[in-house]
Structure 1
Amino acid sequence: MSEPRLGVAILTMGNRPREVAALLESVAKQDVPPARIVVVGNGSPLPEMPDGVTAVELDENLGVSGGRNVAWQRLRDFGDVDVVIDLDDDGLLVDADVFRTVRDLYADDPRLGIVSFRIADETGETQRRHVPRLWTSDPMRGGEVTTFLGGGHALSVPMLERIGGWPDEFFFTHEETDLAWRALDAGWKVLYSPELLLQHPRTSPARHAVYYRMTARNRVWLARRHLPLPLVPVYLGTWTLLTLARTRALDGLRAWGGGFLEGVRTPCGTRRPMRWRTVWRMTRLGRPPVI
């Protein structure tokens, strides 16, 4: 697409008004302004927003997936947005040329579906879990990947319209993997661009009380929704062994086990297994869908 028009989506629970204000200031300093900005209050009221910002207040918390679906659909309804940029409400754009780079990347490649930003804390350090590759911890190694970072990324609107948006059922955790797998299977590219920096406080996903349960449930749902049948036990077996090796808290393991059973027993949406050529493509990119 030539000169794609950018829209910004920010999801918040209303508990970070200072951070949201600082993030909006960093958006306003971009040398390529977005066509639209939407801030969604996920089950919470919002403070007064600056001019040019559309505020959407939801009556209930729809989770990351549901809230981001509301945001991108509102942006699409304006009719003048080609790329959605999702930013965590406690993130910050340090450089003024982030949106220019995003625009140029999409203008140069019509098959580009997802662009993942680099996430680093105030000291410039990137946590290992924020490097979307298996075999390297180097956050400066860009290129095509098989997943992306939820804290800062860009999504092609034509891609979203073709493959569907975020998986509402997931609520929180692994929604990025679900979206990336569908994008890859439909022939779109997922690109990690470390020059696109989102500054973000150092955190642990386990800070959320439901982390262990939803991590397990959603991994089972991923396998049930998207993997060819022979790969389902391999994927789930690999992650079971990794969880047992990594998790030291007994309460966490109990919650994980409950979530795993929930994932087996409950509906997970429509099953559309990826093609074997997608499996091979992901393998060539360094991450076969078994880990």
Structure 2
Amino acid sequence: MSRPRVGVAVLTMGTRPAELRALLDSVVKQQEPAAQVVVVGNGSVLPELPEGVIGVELEENLGVAGGRNVALARLRTAGGVDILVDLDDDGLLIEADVFTRIADLYTADPRLGIVSFRIADETGFTQRRHVPRLRAGDPMQRGLVTTFLGGGHGISMRMLDEIGDWPDDFFFTHEETDLAWRALDADWKILYEPALVLQHPRTSPARHANFYRLTARNRVWMARRHLPALLVPVYLGTWIALTVARTRSLPGLRAWFGGFAEGARRPCGVRRPMRWRTVWRMTRLGRPPVV
């Protein structure tokens, strides 16, 4: 087997030119260079990019899922890429061997579909929400998981050719989990590897406009698209209870229930419920698809 080649995709809305340049410089400094690097201006004009970086400017913001699909299509056109690495435009690769480690992981396991990085701020702290498992007390615990982090990850292009690309209609939130559930149901593995670090400022997801509405809508869509019929009300009921218990913002809660209704009312795409074998596999990995 030839050594897998890494391609990098970055989305930007043009609001972080200094951070984007720092990220691209850290990509260029990798010991094992990327075969292709694509930067998508998601409804924005791109700043000057380093030599060799492919720039794509979109007239409108297609969201995270849509923008990533544009980058993915451009990487396929350019060719020569076996692993897609998506990176947030305000992230930073602090080590120069990240792509080498990724290529080693995929070389060692042909059924490895997704590798999730550890997200840490400039002090090395990892927020609980950035650990892709229910028991999130130890961010340094490596292992197989049921979802992954959007800010920094590697994805097998062969896997994407098999299971399909990002869910365009999601725009933002839960697009990673939708992809992860499809990957697991097709018998691919998802690995959380804390040794692969993307440095990223400490943030809250609620800073984004429409966070509450899209979070609820997309969660309903995921359930309708992928869960066995018996689990749909269990999963959604669990998340209604958790959201009511956790949300301290009344406007946020109203927006969440508005999104929930939208998700139940609007078409969610093709329904392909996962196998019960996949449900059991996820349960053994520590996160059954009911929470």
Q: Equivalents in 2 of 1:119, 1:137: separation in Å?
A: 14
CA distance in 2, matches of 1:12, 1:198: 16
Please report how far the alpha carbon of residue 114 of structure 1 lies from its aligned counterpart in structure 2 after TM superposition. 0.3
Across the two proteins, how many residue pairs are aligned to each other?
291
Could you tell me how far apart the structure 2 residues matched to 1:249 and 1:59 are?
A: 34
On the 8 A contact 2:43/2:59 being kept in 1, the answer is: yes
C-alpha distance in 2 between matches for 1:78 and 1:24: 19
Distance 1:277 1:2 in 2: 32
1:116 offset after TM fit, Å?
0.2
Moved more, 165-174 or 129-138: 129-138
Q: What residue is the counterpart of 2:130 in the other structure?
A: 130
The aligned counterpart of 1:75 is 75
Deviations 1:116-167 (A, max 9, x none): 0000001110000000111232110011000000000000000011111000
- State the identity %: 75
**Residue of structure 2 in register with 1:235 after alignment:** 235
Match of 1:209 in 2: 209
**Structure 1 residue runs of 4+, over 6 Å off?**
none
Aligned 8 A contact 2:128 2:136 in 1: no
Q: Partner residue of 1:225?
A: 225
Structure 2 Cα separation of the partners of residues 50 and 120 of structure 1: 26
Q: Which residue of 2 aligns with 1:43?
A: 43
- Secondary structure, aligned partner of 1:229: coil
- Provide Cα deviations, 1:82-124, integer angstroms capped at 9, x if missing partner: 0000000000000111110001001111101000000000111
RMSD: 0.6
Q: Is the 8 A contact 2:116 2:192 kept in 1?
A: yes
Q: For residue 173 of structure 1, what is the aligned residue in structure 2?
A: 173
Instruction: Please give the per-residue CA displacement for 1:165-219, whole angstroms capped at 9, x wherever unaligned.
Output: 0000100000000000000000100000000000000000000120000000000
Distance between the aligned counterparts of 2:47 and 2:132, measured in 1? Answer: 34
CA distance in structure 2 between the aligned counterparts of 1:2 and 1:116, rounded to whole angstroms: 23
Structure 2 unmatched runs, 5+: none
Counterpart CA distance in 2 for 1:77 and 1:157 is 13
CA distance in 2, matches of 1:135, 1:48: 42
Question: Aligned residue for 1:139?
Answer: 139
**8 Å CA contact 2:114, 2:191 repeated in 1:** yes
Measured in 1, the distance between the counterparts of 2:137 and 2:25 equals 31
1:109 aligned partner: 109
How does 1:25-104 map onto structure 2 within 5 Å?
25-104=25-104
Give the 3-state SS of the residue equivalent to 1:192 in structure 2: strand
- The alignment status of 1:12 with 2:16, answered yes or no, reads no
Aligned equivalents of 2:134 and 2:82: distance in 1?
31
Partner of 1:184: 184
In 1, Cα distance between equivalents of 2:143 and 2:73: 28
**How far apart are the structure 1 equivalents of 2:209 and 2:77?**
35
Q: Distance in 1 between matches of 2:180 and 2:8?
A: 19
Aligned mates of 1:2, 1:198 — CA distance in 2: 27
TM-score by length of 2: 0.99
With the length of structure 1 as denominator, give the TM-score of the two structures: 0.99
Residue aligned with 2:176, SS? helix
Offset, 1:72: 1.1
Q: Determine helix, strand or coil for the equivalent of 1:38.
A: strand
Partners of 1:257 and 1:36 in 2: how far apart? 42
Query: Counterparts of 2:2 and 2:252 in 1: how far apart (Å)?
Result: 48
Separation in 2, partners of 1:160, 1:57: 24
Shift of the 108–2 alpha-carbon distance from structure 1 to 2, 3 Å rule, reads farther
> Which range moves more in the overlay, 64-73 or 130-139?
130-139
Structure 2 distance, partners of 1:144, 1:75, is 27
Deviation at residue 58 of structure 1 after TM alignment: 0.6
Distance in 2, Cα, partners of 1:213 & 1:122: 31
**Aligned equivalent of 2:21:** 21
Structure 1 residue runs without a partner (length 5+): none
Q: Which amino acid aligns with 1:96?
A: A
